[in-house]
């Protein structure tokens, strides 16, 4: 994400629990969380989707996350932006409602560092995945999944709807080429920067035969449809709020975030939490480690997304539904995201 994922996604952890919809208040959820932590949850599966949007995230956040995952015996799914780090260009979002508030709320300077916030404007744009192949190989060597997360993350995130089909295809092709060069095989999975997807991007992705894509927010894996067009690639959405969306809103603080997140895990379902190498791997590493400790105590089962995708496609999880994708804003983020209908 550069600042990419940072300012545009949005989903509020408690939005599906608003009293108007018949759910408990956020504070009730926090109270329930303390109860959950004392129990052992059965058959609760959680996939960790790690977005790597910036050079600093790959260079410093990823090694920290690899250490943590080794310590806890977890295998995760990493999605890396392979092209230029243009995080500084995200400043264009300054005119969008909520951008400055979010920068302050999530302490962007501490999270990304001063240099990253200037890449692509006052400083040249260094290459992310393509520039650090050793780390990409290290992620894969430790048994984690590696997928693509766009080429120029900021460009996709901020301008997807304005890009032509050849331009979108160019982004995907460059990312696939870099991946192949580094890992010697083609990527099986793709996750759109900022959960930004549309008719054109899904059609282009279908040409490349991904095992699955993860471009949306939602509640369960599905075959995507927009209007009358049904796409081939399985879609696995992020089901949980991200840390940068939740912190500082609705009474959620660093102290109660982990309890809050645990309340939202659903038994007998594939839960997907997207974390960012720049946050959970750097500025909020301690908080994330605490989450892993707590989840281990209650017996959460960690899975990789590509294993789940294979099981789904083999029919081991029942019929895969066809669901619509539409665009909507979600709380805690600026702009629209692709959302499961």
- For Zn ion, the closer CB: 51 or 215: 51
The torsion angles phi and psi of 273, rounded to 5 degrees, stand at -110, 125
CA angle 296, 33, 279 (to 5 degrees): 65
How many residues bind Zn ion (CB under 5 A)? The answer is: 5
Q: Does 5 bind Zn ion (CB under 5 A)?
A: yes
Shortest gap between Cβ of 7 and Zn ion (angstroms)?
Answer: 11
DSSP letters, 45-87, are EEEEEEEE-SHHIIIIIHHHHHHHHHHHT---EEEE--SB--G
Written in H, E and C, the secondary structure of 136-201 is: HHHHHHCCCEEEECCCCHHHHHHHHHHCCHHHHHHHHHHHHHHHHHHHCCCCCEECCHHHCCCHHH
**Least distance (Å) between residue 2 CB and Zn ion:** 8
Contacts of 288 (CB under 8 A, 6+ apart): 68, 243, 275, 279, 280, 281
Coil vs helix vs strand at 336 = strand
Q: Which residues, 37 to 66, sit near Zn ion by CB under 5 A?
A: 51, 53
Cβ-based nearer residue to Zn ion, 193 or 335: 193
Q: Does 1 bind Zn ion (CB under 5 A)?
A: yes
Looking at residues 79 to 118 of the shown chain, list those that interact with Zn ion (rule: CB under 5 A).
none
Q: Least distance in Å: CB of 149 to Zn ion? A: 6
Tokens, residue 198: 């549309």
**Looking at beta carbons only, is 26 or 147 nearer to Zn ion?**
147
**Cβ closest to Zn ion, residue 176 vs residue 259:** 176
Q: Tell me which residues in 157-196 interact with Zn ion (CB under 5 A).
A: 193
Find the shortest distance in angstroms from Cβ 259 to Zn ion.
26
> Nearer Cβ to Zn ion, position 5 or 252?
5
Smallest gap, in angstroms, from Cβ of residue 315 to Zn ion?
31
Least separation in angstroms between residue 8's CB and Zn ion is 9
Interface positions with Zn ion (CB under 5 A)? 1, 5, 51, 53, 193
């Amino acid at each position: 994400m550069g600042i990419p994922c940072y300012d545009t996604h949005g989903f509020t952890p408690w939005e599906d629990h608003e009293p108007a919809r018949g759910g408990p208040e956020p504070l009730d959820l926090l109270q329930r969380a303390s109860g959950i932590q004392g129990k052992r949850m059965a058959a609760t599966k959680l996939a960790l989707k790690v977005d790597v949007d910036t050079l600093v995230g790959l260079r410093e956040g990823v090694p920290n996350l690899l250490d943590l995952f080794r310590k806890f015996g977890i295998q995760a799914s990493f999605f890396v932006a392979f092209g230029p780090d243009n995080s500084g260009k995200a400043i264009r979002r300054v005119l969008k409602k909520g951008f400055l508030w979010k920068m302050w709320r999530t302490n962007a300077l501490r999270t990304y560092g001063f240099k990253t916030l200037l890449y692509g404007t006052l400083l040249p744009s260094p290459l992310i995945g393509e520039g650090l192949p050793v780390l990409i190989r290290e992620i894969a060597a430790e048994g984690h999944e590696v997928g693509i997360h766009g080429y120029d993350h900021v460009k996709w995130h901020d301008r997807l709807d304005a890009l032509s089909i050849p331009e979108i295809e160019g982004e995907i092709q460059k990312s696939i080429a870099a991946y192949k060069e580094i890992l010697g095989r083609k990527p099986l999975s793709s996750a759109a920067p900022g959960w930004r997807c549309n008719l054109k991007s899904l059609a282009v992705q279908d040409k490349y035969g991904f095992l699955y894509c993860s471009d949306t927010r939602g509640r369960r894996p599905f075959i995507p449809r927009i209007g009358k067009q049904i796409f081939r690639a399985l879609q696995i959405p992020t089901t949980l709020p991200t840390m940068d969306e939740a912190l500082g809103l609705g009474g959620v603080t660093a102290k109660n975030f982990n309890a809050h997140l645990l309340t939202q895990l659903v038994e007998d379902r594939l839960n997907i939490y997207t974390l960012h190498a720049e946050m959970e791997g750097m500025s909020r590493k301690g908080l994330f480690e605490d989450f892993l400790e707590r989840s281990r105590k209650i017996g959460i089962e960690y899975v990789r997304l590509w294993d789940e995708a294979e099981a789904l496609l083999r029919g081991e999880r029942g019929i895969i539904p066809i669901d619509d994708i539409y665009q909507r804003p979600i709380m805690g983020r600026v702009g629209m995201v692709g959302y499961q209908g």
